[in-house]
Amino acid sequence: MINNPASRLDENALLHPDKPAFIFKQKNHAWASLSYRQFLDMETCLQKGLIALGLAAHTRAVLMAPPDISFFALTFAMLKTGITPVIIDPAIGFRNVTSCLDETQPQIFIGNALSHSLRFVYGWGRSSIKKNLTIGAIMRAGLNAPDQEIRTVEDTAEAAIIFTSGSTGLPRGAIYTPGNLLAQMEMLVNALGLTGHEVDLPAFPIFAMIDLLLGVTAVVPDIRFPRPSSVNPELMIEAVQNYHVDTLFASPVVLDRIAQYAEIHPVRLASLKRIITAGAPAPVPVLESFMKCLDPEAKIYGIYGSTEALPIALVDCQEILKDTRFASNSGAGICVGRPVEGINVQIIPISDAPLDAGATEETLLPGITGEILVEGRSVTAAYAGSAEHTHLAKIQELSGGVRHRMGDLGYFDQHGRLWYCGRKSHRVNTPNGSLFSERVEGIFNAHLDVYRTALVGVNLNGLVRPVLWVELKKKNTPGSREKVRQDLLSMGSRYEMTREIKDILFYRTFPTDVRHNSKIIREKLAEIAQKRLK
């Protein structure tokens, strides 16, 4: 059996050649479709082009082009040829891109005119890039290449390098093996009950890739895959209704934008049966608002995981609405569900230092907050070009396996459910003990006028003081801030963990990560708080 994830594309094209792989809106606003046979033909042409241009297996190629159909086809062609695609989101910042390429040392740069111009200006990959190409040039080389048998590389140590969003520091390139990708796909299929007959609307490019591996139809209303906060809800609704989409992969921000639109324009998304959110936990008000658009039997699931390890846990959002939300409002953190089959989750004592295998022997009892540790076939084992961060985030087991430190804090309850308490780097260590961001914020987020809050620590006269940032719902005016402040102080006085919070600041719109627009950049808020309170 070929251990290459891209070979699934050939199988899908053989099983249902005329089935749409993509249904998408073109620049002229007209809808178009591309069958699995047509997509495979495009991918094969690009694979021939890579070979004709002398691009060899076991080399790294940064792919920095808009995520259109040819982008996906080229990614599959690279996987089949054994070339490692290095996937970096340029929205992380152009200078951060420089650091990412310095770490991964790719030999090839594939982009469009804009990314090549930026490469020249910022010196991207100057120390390693040997060849610069466009997707168009590769396609032309493939069209002009002589007919030949194209073989899929059976196995490579690296299938892809995918960078994290960098929401809590510099982005890191997780090295995916073919086994990691295949395990990830199989675990998603089993956890979500996917059959391959779905019609999916993926709000992120990575989910469109998963669709192609599963053999489902991906409906893409905006082929540019805009940031979640910029998604056009009308286009999303049109796509769902016109093409009977039954599965939606999106961040909570996308659900929120659709729900806000539906408050003004009555919307029914009757075909949707399965909604999967990822990137950050979906707030209860968003879930409640979005569910008004759905039929009663529709299911919303939240996936917990990361770039380095996905999926880890799955929660049916009905369990949140009917049960765990009340504990969250009292400082329990956020329930992310139960671990999926194929992943081992462990809670260990919190440490900021590298750990060896012996550190995994101590497992904390249910209810005690610690560091979340995961192990499984989908878990990546290293970062590209960053031995220091690999050593800090990975624990090499004596058996040869690897456990990944999520950098998240949490605990198991008595029912075997995993609760997320925030990032380890976001805990605030005061003289009275440690405060965990999601546990503290859950108490204040229960206020009806609050959209979300963010806990940060400020160093004043050598002591760390907890500070709460507040983002109000849009309907509120600056004049209501003082009342909200007094309400929040009263709410905080009821719980031991929030009693010492006396500083409450307001921010119009929190800074968030570039990928999901859902993870709050608390580091930036901490810097601003430090300047305001010094």
114 in Cβ contact with 94 (< 8 Å): no
Residue-wise pLDDT tens digits, 115-129: 999 999 999 999 999
Q: What total of structural domains would you count in the chain?
A: 3
What pLDDT score was predicted for residue 188? Answer: 93
For residues 190-219, give the mean pLDDT.
93
232-259 per-position pLDDT tens digit: 999 999 999 999 999 999 999 999 999 9
Strand partners, 199: 217
Last residue of a domain, one of 176, 191, 216: 176
417 and 444, same structural domain? no
Q: Is 446 in the same domain as 412?
A: no
Upstream peptide bond of 146 is cis (omega within 30 degrees of 0): no
- Rounded to whole angstroms, the Cα distance separating 330 from 325 reads 9
Structure tokens, 83: 């070339």
For residue 357, being part of any structural domain is answered with no
Which residues have C-beta within 8 Å of that of residue 439, sequence separation ≥ 6? 331, 332, 333, 369, 421, 422, 497
Query: What's the pLDDT score for residue 358?
Result: 74
Residue 253 lies in a domain: yes
Q: What is the CA radius of gyration of the chain?
A: 24
Answer yes or no: do 311 and 445 share one domain.
Answer: no
Nearest by Cα to 375 from 354, 400, 409: 400
In this structure, the answer to whether residues 418 and 433 fall within a common structural domain is: no
483 and 439, same domain (yes or no):
yes
Taking residue 288's Cβ as centre, other Cβ atoms within 10 Å add up to 13
Looking at the structure, tell me whether residues 119 and 132 fall in a common domain: yes
- End of a domain among 160, 176, 192? 176
What is the model's pLDDT at position 47?
A: 96
Question: Do 365 and 349 meet the contact criterion of CB atoms below 8 Å apart?
Answer: no
Q: Identify which has the larger pLDDT, 170 or 201.
A: 201
234 and 377 co-located in one domain: yes
Asked whether the predicted pLDDT for residue 2 surpasses 70, the reply is no
Q: How far apart are alpha carbons 529 and 534 in whole angstroms?
A: 8
Cβ atoms 133, 117 nearer than 8 A? no
Residue that wins the pLDDT comparison between 490 and 225:
490
Q: What is the residue range of 168's domain?
A: 7-176
Does 207 lie in the same domain as 88?
Answer: no
pLDDT score for 1: 45
Contacts of 164 (CB under 8 A, 6+ apart): 171, 172, 173, 174, 306, 307, 308
CATH number at residue 517: 3.30.300.30
Residue 289 lies in a domain: yes
pLDDT average, residue stretch 81-105 = 91
- Same domain, residue pair 166 and 222: no
CATH number at residue 83: 3.40.50.980
Other Cβ atoms within 10 Å of 515 Cβ, number: 23
The answer to the question of residue 347 being in a domain is no
Residue 26 has a pLDDT of 86
The tokens for 87 are 């996937």
pLDDT in tens, 381-418: 999 988 999 999 999 887 778 999 999 999 999 999 99
Residue 399 lies in a domain: no
AA identity, residue 95: R
CA dihedral 72, 77, 79, 82 (to 10 degrees): -150
Q: What percent of the chain has pLDDT over 70?
A: 99
In a domain, 396, yes or no: no
Structure tokens at 429: 């260590």
CA distance 231 to 203: 9
Better pLDDT: 229 or 487: 487
CA-based nearest residue to 51, from 135, 138, 161: 138
More confident residue, 14 or 92: 14
What number of CA atoms fall less than 13 Å from residue 240's CA on the CB side?
Answer: 25
Instruction: Residue 224: name the closest of 303, 334, 114, 377 by CA.
Output: 114
Same domain, 111 and 237: no
Compute the distance between CA of residue 513 and CA of residue 195 in angstroms, rounded to an integer. Answer: 32
Task: Count Cβ atoms below 10 Å from residue 507 Cβ, excluding itself.
Answer: 18
Residues 60, 64, 67: CA angle, nearest 5 degrees: 120
With respect to residue 351, please indicate whether it lies within any of the assigned structural domains. Answer: no
Residue type (1 letter), 336: V
Q: How confident is the model at residue 91 (pLDDT cuts 50, 70, 90)?
A: confident
Read off the CATH number of the domain in which 266 is found. Answer: 3.40.50.12780
- Same domain? For 158 and 212 the reply is no
pLDDT in tens, 19-72: 999 999 988 889 999 999 999 999 999 999 999 999 989 999 999 999 899 999
What does the pLDDT read at residue 132? 97
For residue 262, being part of any structural domain is answered with: yes
Measured from the Cβ of residue 132, the count of other Cβ atoms closer than 10 Å reads: 15
pLDDT digits (tens, 9 = 90+) for 440-457: 999 999 999 999 999 999
In terms of Cα–Cα distance, which of 271, 223, 225 is closest to 251? 225
Residue that finishes a domain, picked among 176, 204, 226: 176
Per the prediction, the chain carries an average pLDDT of 93
Please report, in angstroms and rounded to a whole number, the separation of the first and last CA atoms in the chain: 63
pLDDT of residue 499: 96
State the average pLDDT over residues 509-529: 90
Considering the domain architecture, whether residues 310 and 198 belong to the same structural domain is answered as yes
